[in-house]
Structure 1
Amino acid sequence: MTVIAVAATPYVRELFLDPDTWTALQRVGEVRLPADRADVGDEAVLAGLLADADVVVTGWGTAPLTAAALAAAPRLRLLAHTGASVKPFVTPECFARGVRVTQAGDAMAYAVGEQALALTLALLHRLHRFDHALRTGADWASAKGAPPRRELRGATVGVVGASRTGRAYLGLVRALGARVLVADPYLSGAEAVTLGVERVGLDELLARSLVVSLHAPVLPETAGMIGARELALLPDGALLVNTARSALVDEAALLAALRTGRIDAALDVFDAEPLPVDHPLRGLPNVLLTPHEAAGTVESRRRAGAIVVAEIDRFLLGRPLAHEVRPEQLDRTG
């Protein structure tokens, strides 16, 4: 009997494994859980759970599969992650040991794209500024004095990164009438035509776009890719949306640009998380903030759980995995 170790906290299990998904997982194999109140972030706890496991399901807070943890898991053949990035869990030893890796990031793409759209619309219509003014006691006339509002239809939107979330977002904004530019060195001309977008360099995208939405992974070449120089390329009144990774942007440079009032931003990710209660971003009227929850819809979580179960089933039947992460791909994921 295949043993499936669910090395996830109760919180993660509740989010991703609803009753139907849990039942489906139990049909696939014998499910093992950590002991009550055991910390799966502890390598010793993880090693004990994996002792006779063929498959491990990971989530936020799971310890990485180090050489020591793998040494305690001689039967382990598959790691199935409930989220997108597997970097916190997968080590070189995993691949050296022949452990295959899969993840459920595809489940989250639409949710992130839809929130990025919601943030885009809120910025365009200055909802964040109106809300801030009314909540901080501005009189009615002053509250109405936001900068000019714009519509998405006919606007030029720049998408940095033709990732799964980037493609979900650009499809949504195109459906509402936006013109879309994409900066992504891995996007081919043929793909750009298929997506109905114009492929451009980053500087051109920043200079031409009313809205810039970030959807790139954090790689050596993308970390800090939006700094003071790049922010200065944005037109006056431009809007920046970041539902990807905070490391893509120089936060100090962004804060300086926002303090001038020249641009507005919507941010779901931050250098320090949780965002400190006294962080200066919290007090700016031209910033819309959400607490790293872009992917957190009920539907997204259910899709992720279903993907994990389906991948385990494919693996056990000897079929190709639909969402496998291979060793050469690990460095290209965020």
Structure 2
Amino acid sequence: MAPRIVRASLRCYGPDRNCRQSRQAGDRVRPVIAVALDEGLRELFFTPQQWSALEAAAELRVCGIAPDAMARALADAEVVITGWRTPRLHGGLLAAAPRLALVAHTGAAVRFLVGDEVFGRGIRVTQTGAAMAPPVAEVSLTFTLALLHGLHRHDHALRGGGNWDEAKQHKAPAHELRGSVIGVVGASRTGRAYLHMLSALGAVPLLHDPTCDEAAAERLGAELVPLDDLLRRSRIVALHAPAIPETRHLLGRRELALLPDGAGLVNTARSALVDSAALLAELRTGRIDAALDVFDEEPLPTTSPLRTLPNVLLSPHEAAGTTEARRRQGQIVVDEITRHLTGEKLQHEVTPDIMAISA
């Protein structure tokens, strides 16, 4: 069912082309939604049915991410749909958007996109991180299992031309997940989903999160411990913390040295959590392994030493990239816009306070 349209919080600004009769139905004014997505993202996120729901709710102006086209589309837009490469909403773009009330972001991290200038104008922001937690947690679990069993080292040895017996020897001792101590840094949405999987499969989870107390950790099936303790005790350490100033290079040379020989590091969160130079130096010794989905420089350069190390498993920042997650992201955007237009409470709103402690 198409959402009810809120009356006349909108008025027309600028030339008559922004006030076409097609925007009106009786005495109701159809809201305008600017779609500032890079080419191809519309089909990635929105099914035909979801797109039709948006068309039923408002006039859609697909403008792409060129600033000039965005400024024209935002002239009387109440909502803007944004993506990973949408330009930051500040300065001239905000000045061109006097009616903007909602930024509906198709991704999770919004710090690159909005700031105090947006919030200061009373513009609300929503995102789709909840849709992405399950697949990222699954990839984190996949990485964990691969490191425990040395699958990446086997693969590297066989593809590198090594013989069968050499490939068998080209790894550290394998371990089962059941009974293994797994350290989780960050009880984020993804961290919590990962913890549930670990507990279900019989792992022994440790948790470090300054915002979490012992009772909350116990509800998640984990023991709350200081970071150094977690690093010393864990066979695998998985990062699920936000990238905020307090967590930048949370793991540096000193912290990485605390990991036991043969331990593994999983990072599907943000590369800024780890001092990349220190990690590379540690990996080059062969003492620890790593599985990485995020990097300081993306795309990862073809000359990166990480590509050649047998103790490193890599993926191109695609942990959240399932078909199901993308469709959930699209549905969250549709639902949040519908809630906004009908005066209901947003369920995935990002406030300045939330943004200060999230990725």
TM-score if structure 1 supplies the norm length?
Answer: 0.96
Q: 2:355 aligns with which of 320, 330, 333?
A: 330
Q: Deviations over 1:35-84 (max 9, x none)?
A: xxxx51x3322211111111000001111111321111111110000000
1:207-246 superposed matches below 5 A: 207-246=232-271
Q: 2:201 aligns with which of 159, 164, 176?
A: 176
In structure 1, the residue matched to 2:229 is: 204
Query: Is 1:56 aligned to 2:56, yes or no?
Result: no
Provide the rounded CA distance (Å) in 1 between the counterparts of 2:353 and 2:288.
38
Provide the rounded CA distance (Å) in 2 between the counterparts of 1:315 and 1:191.
32
Identity of aligned residues (%): 60
Q: Which runs of 5+ in 1 are unaligned?
A: none
| Structure with bigger gyration radius | 2
Number of aligned positions between the proteins: 329
Amino acid at match of 1:51: A
Query: Is 1:266 aligned to 2:266, yes or no?
Result: no
1:1-334 superposed matches below 5 A: 1-34=30-63, 40=65, 42-145=66-169, 146-334=171-359
Q: Secondary structure at the match of 2:111?
A: coil
Q: Is the 8 A contact 1:43 1:64 kept in 2?
A: no
Amino acid at match of 2:144: T
Q: Is the 8 A contact 2:252 2:278 kept in 1?
A: yes
Q: Deviations over 1:81-125 (max 9, x none)?
A: 000011121121111111111100110000100000011111111
Provide the rounded CA distance (Å) in 1 between the counterparts of 2:57 and 2:186.
36
**Could you tell me how far 1:31 is from its partner in structure 2?**
1.3
Amino acid at match of 2:61: R
Q: Deviations over 1:254-275 (max 9, x none)?
A: 1111111111100001111111
Amino acid at match of 2:143: L
**Alpha carbon RMSD of aligned pairs, Å?**
1.0
**Could you tell me how far 1:20 is from its partner in structure 2?**
2.0
Provide the rounded CA distance (Å) in 2 between the counterparts of 1:312 and 1:188.
35
**Could you tell me how far 1:294 is from its partner in structure 2?**
0.4
Q: Which runs of 5+ in 2 are unaligned?
A: 1-29
TM-score if structure 2 supplies the norm length?
Answer: 0.90
Q: Is the 8 A contact 1:46 1:63 kept in 2?
A: no
Q: Is the 8 A contact 2:82 2:104 kept in 1?
A: yes
Provide the rounded CA distance (Å) in 1 between the counterparts of 2:284 and 2:297.
19
**Could you tell me how far 1:27 is from its partner in structure 2?**
2.3
**Could you tell me how far 1:24 is from its partner in structure 2?**
2.0
Provide the rounded CA distance (Å) in 1 between the counterparts of 2:99 and 2:196.
43
**Could you tell me how far 1:225 is from its partner in structure 2?**
0.7
**Could you tell me how far 1:13 is from its partner in structure 2?**
1.1
Q: Is the 8 A contact 1:268 1:294 kept in 2?
A: yes
Provide the rounded CA distance (Å) in 2 between the counterparts of 1:30 and 1:173.
46
Amino acid at match of 2:261: D
Q: Is the 8 A contact 1:181 1:199 kept in 2?
A: yes
**Could you tell me how far 1:306 is from its partner in structure 2?**
0.3
Q: Secondary structure at the match of 2:136?
A: helix
**Could you tell me how far 1:170 is from its partner in structure 2?**
1.0
Q: Secondary structure at the match of 2:348?
A: coil
Q: Secondary structure at the match of 1:50?
A: helix
**Could you tell me how far 1:278 is from its partner in structure 2?**
1.2
**Could you tell me how far 1:299 is from its partner in structure 2?**
0.5
